[in-house]
Structure formats: structure tokens, C-alpha cells
């Protein structure tokens, strides 16, 4: 997918990017590739692949959850790595307040440089583990309108990292591939315990490749018990399974 095809595919979905926004994506790509020579940010570096599998794929979040396109929501991206999906979302919809928490300082430093390069406002980056960021002592707990993650962990694990950070009445949105339905089945107990209720699953395919995407939208209906999230290391070793 060339930059021009990227712009055209989004326009078909009602997302019209300006030349300034297209330039921000071009600058994003250049800095990503340059930094990736020294810091392992992504295995995908070909321009056409980055525009499809990172940039367009990130924006499927806003296709599945269209409130992101118009409302001034606070969005937290857990374990964003090189900034996916939240930085492409921020470029396309600058009214959003975007925060990223990541456990690796090298990635946070890249994101800070990226935000400066792209002149992004209302962005915040936190070098911390998600388990600590959402703990009962954290001021960030239960404070975001929407918490998302892409390619970080299985859904039962992800729910325990993300739902404690989601405000009551807000949403946890997981970006998954073709195995999303299987993971959702495994996560039913975790969602119930952590205060989440499945609202809908949106199925999409990427242009040109037809790769399947399942975007799982969970509404936070109750406060998360203070015992969650558990300590780092515990969640992935023994996920909340019924």
C-alpha cells in the first residue's frame, strides 16, 4: 500500500487526511526506519508494508469505534511499542488526548522524539509497567475513556492490564487478528471479574491482503476490584480463566 493508496482507502471509509497529516505520516515512517537501525521497534520496515500493516491497521480502531473520530476522548495505549495504534490515531484525529505506557525506556524515548518531530500536542508517555501504572495506588487508575492495546498479549492477560485503567462507563478495546473469537471465549471470566461487559465485536479486513481483524469492544460497567491488576509476572503465568 503506497501513501496514495493509504489516503484513498481511508477516504473511502470517510476519513479524509490533509496534506499536512500525510506529511506527518511520511515523517513518522522516516523516523521509524532510521531509529529502527539501532533500536528494535518493528520487523516491518518496507514503506508499503508500514502503511498497510501499521498505519492503516492502527486506524481500523477508529473505524470500529467511530467516537474516536469526533469526540475529545482520553485514550491510553498499553505497550504501544513504536506507537501503534495510538500515534496514527492521534495524527488523524488531533482532538484526542493520547497517552502511552510502555515498559521499555528506549521505546519511550523514540516516542518523545516522534511527538516533537510531528508537533503533536496533548500526548503523554510513561515509562512504566502496565501492572504498576494501573495499581490501586496509581493516580492513573480508572481514569481513561478508552484503553487499547495491539499485539501485546492474550485477551485474558490484556483485560487485567487494561480494565483497571479504564474509567467506569469507558471502554477497553482490544485489537486482535483471526483468533479474536477464541480469545474472547477464554476471557469471559476475566471480563466479568474485572468489571467489563462485551459490547460488540467488529470484524474487518485489511485492503489488498484481506487479513482478518477482530476488534473487541468491552464497556466498563463496574469498578475493578482493588486486588487487580496482580503483580508483574503473575498475570501471564496464571491468567484469569474461569
Ligand-binding annotation for 174, yes or no, is no
Ligand-binding annotation for 151, yes or no, is no
pLDDT at 151: 72
Q: Pull the grid cell for residue 51.
A: 502503511
Q: What are the per-10-residue average pLDDT scores of the chain (242 residues)?
A: 98 97 98 95 95 97 97 95 96 98 95 98 96 94 96 89 97 94 94 97 93 96 96 90 77
Ligand-binding annotation for 129, yes or no, is no
Ligand-binding annotation for 79, yes or no, is yes
Where do the domains of the chain lie, and which CATH numbers do they carry?
Answer: 3-237 (3.40.50.150)
Flag whether the pTM goes above 0.85: yes
Catalogue the E-assigned strands of the chain. 74-78, 97-102, 123-127, 144-150, 166-176, 196-205, 212-220
- What angle (nearest 5°) sits at the alpha carbon of residue 99, between those of residues 160 and 175? 50
Ligand-binding annotation for 190, yes or no, is no
Amino acid at each position: 500500500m503506497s501513501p496514495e493508496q493509504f489516503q484513498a482507502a481511508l477516504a473511502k471509509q470517510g476519513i479524509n487526511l490533509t496534506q499536512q497529516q500525510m506529511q506527518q505520516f511520511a515523517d513518522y515512517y522516516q523516523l521509524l526506519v532510521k531509529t529502527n537501525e539501532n533500536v528494535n521497534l518493528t520487523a516491518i520496515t518496507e514503506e508499503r508494508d508500514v502503511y498497510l500493516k501499521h498505519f492503516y491497521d492502527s486506524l481500523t480502531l477508529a473505524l470500529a469505534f467511530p467516537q474516536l473520530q469526533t469526540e475529545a476522548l482520553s485514550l491510553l495505549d498499553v505497550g504501544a511499542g513504536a506507537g501503534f495504534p495510538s500515534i496514527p490515531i492521534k495524527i488523524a484525529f488531533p482532538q484526542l488526548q493520547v497517552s502511552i505506557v510502555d515498559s521499555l525506556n528506549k521505546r519511550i524515548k523514540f516516542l518523545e522524539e516522534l511527538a516533537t518531530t510531528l508537533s503533536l500536542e496533548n500526548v503523554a508517555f510513561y515509562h512504566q509497567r502496565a501492572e504498576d501504572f494501573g495499581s490501586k495506588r496509581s493516580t492513573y487508575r480508572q481514569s481513561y475513556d478508552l484503553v487499547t492495546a495491539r499485539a501485546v498479549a492474550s485477551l485474558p492477560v490484556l483485560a487485567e492490564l487494561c480494565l483497571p485503567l479504564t474509567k467506569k462507563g469507558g471502554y477497553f478495546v482490544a485489537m486482535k487478528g483471526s483468533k479474536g473469537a477464541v480469545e474472547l471465549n477464554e476471557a469471559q471470566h476475566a471480563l466479568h471479574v474485572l468489571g467489563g461487559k462485551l459490547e460488540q465485536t467488529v470484524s474487518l479486513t485489511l485492503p489488498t491482503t484481506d487479513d482478518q481483524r477482530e476488534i473487541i469492544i468491552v464497556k466498563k460497567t463496574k469498578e475493578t476490584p482493588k486486588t487487580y491488576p496482580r503483580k508483574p509476572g503473575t498475570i501471564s503465568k496464571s491468567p484469569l480463566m474461569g
